[in-house]
Amino acid sequence: MPTASEAPYNFSYQTEVLKSAILSRLLLLILILLWRTLLTPYDTSAPLNPTCLNHPSSSPPPPLLPSLGSAIENGVVWDSVYFLRIAQCGYEYEQSYAFLPLLPACIFILSRTVFAPLVSLIGDRAVLALSGYVICNVAFVLAAIYFYRLSAVVLKDPNAALRASVLFCFNPASIFYSSIYSESLYALFSVGGLYYLESRANNTALVWLALSGFARSNGVLNAGYYGFQTMHQAYDAAFMRKRALILLSGALRCMCIFVPFITFQTYGYHNICLGRSSDEMRPWCKARIPLLYNYIQSHYWGVGFLKYFQLKQLPNFLLASPILSLAVCSIIYYVKSRPEIVLSLGFQPSLEEKSSTVVIFSEDKSSNSPPISEKYTSRRQENHNIKLRKKMNRGGDPAECRIDHGSVEKLGYTSASILPYILHLSFMVATAFFVMHVQVATRLLSASPSLYWFASLLMYYPSISKRCGYMIWAYCSAYILLGSLLFSNFYPFT
């Protein structure tokens, strides 16, 4: 696995990704302003802002530019209302604990420092909203850059990394990355953490992935990447004394990913349950494992296994069908292409990989032990490369036929290093379909790198690239237009 300094970047491509990310945010801003101008919002109650319960104060003086402040506040819809309220007043109600604290904390800090002088001009809540917009959009641009870096490291193909990254910039859940939602911060810390993990910067990766668990609850699933890494490192060190140390280190790292989420649950338990009599306690306080988040999702939003399988929810299943179909196809394609890798969880690389050095989450840069790899002789590598060239000339699968003229074969989307991403995506798809409100799948899965890697592969096929390219871009464009139209005017959309 290359280090960060040796990563197969093409810096001109990274610049293209940066431009695409900024362009996509400007496009969303224009669309939001356009739809807000042409249509009347379904719900106009979002600008209402009652006094905080915890620290009521006298009414602040009116801002000097109330119309500008009102225009900024009018864009605060759906969950953005909760995030701003938490940033302004803290956690006042039980259901507000469904929203994790990283985004509200960032909004609070920015609004009280950099943007504090604007309070007298546009008002306190408008400054909070402006801070939220800046944080989320800047975080998305940074996430796009890290997405390209991660893709270049994993796929070892700058062209495929560029295609996938541009798709990410214009993904179907784009409206949420331009709104005051936690998707942008989650994508930044999740994708950035994976990049550092692939680059062997384990300690940096640990911090970033842990912060992703402070942004969204599904950030705790990133512990699975460390679990996968530890499993392979322990296997590689099966006959060495340090095996127990590897297992202990991996277990501690996995636990660190859970720490932010568990800390927040403890904070909720302290605020809601402690100091109350048994009769006053909420039902979840008396549970053997008092998980506030699970109770809120089930009690207030009706989230649960098969609870959403109702005839009236058919439109929402249809709304989520494109992203779920793409995800399922990406999983099936990988399983069919590399069944031996999937069945062995990556312990037995396929024949196509036996002439290369295949790395699955190497250890720290500072470690003296070699990375987890399968090494073969140069003669066997040369013979295998000749076979691959013949296969490519006959029109074979480009993902299977890419050859590095150095020492490492480029298997792209079907390499063993993709397996942990496929396993992560599989769990997310199953959860979105069977447990969650299924329409949320569009934004839940939008930060999964393997989705865009697979879409990039489809667009590269000589026989179907044109058709698939049209379909994928049509899907992204339609959801960007539909999302900006419905979401910004307080109509339901995922």
401, 395 Cβ separation under 8 angstroms: no
- Decide if 2 is inside a domain: no
Please report the pLDDT score of residue 361 as a whole number: 52
Split the chain (494 residues) into runs of 10 and give each run's mean pLDDT: 53 95 97 91 76 75 90 91 95 95 98 96 95 98 98 93 97 97 98 96 96 96 95 79 84 95 96 88 92 94 94 95 96 94 81 45 44 37 45 46 37 90 98 96 97 92 72 95 93 85
Q: What residue numbers bound the domain in which 105 lies? A: 11-42+61-346+412-489
- Decide if 494 is inside a domain: no
Q: Which residues of 250-285 are buried (b: 16+ CB within 10 A; e: fewer)?
A: beebbebbeebbeebbeebbeebbeeeeeeeebebb
Please report the pLDDT score of residue 381 as a whole number: 43
213, 224 Cβ separation under 8 angstroms: no
Please report the pLDDT score of residue 129 as a whole number: 97
Q: What's the total number of domains in the chain?
A: 1
Count each helix (H run) and each strand (E run) in the chain, helices first. 21, 0
- Decide if 185 is inside a domain: yes
The phi, psi pair for 243, rounded to 5°, reads -60, -45
- Decide if 351 is inside a domain: no
Please report the pLDDT score of residue 43 as a whole number: 76
- Decide if 403 is inside a domain: no
Measure the CA angle with vertex 24, ends 208 and 330; round to 5°: 65
Q: Which two tokens stand for residue 438?
A: 């299924």
Q: Of 64, 190, 54, whose CA–CA distance to 127 is shortest?
A: 64
- Decide if 361 is inside a domain: no
Distance (Å, rounded) from C-alpha 391 to C-alpha 401?
7
Please report the pLDDT score of residue 161 as a whole number: 95
Cα torsion through 188, 445, 105, 124, rounded to 10: 110
Please report the pLDDT score of residue 384 as a whole number: 46
Please report the pLDDT score of residue 378 as a whole number: 40
- Decide if 373 is inside a domain: no
285, 269 Cβ separation under 8 angstroms: yes
- Decide if 17 is inside a domain: yes
Angle between helix 243-272 and 202-215 (nearest 10):
30
CA torsion sign for 201, 168, 400, 13 is negative
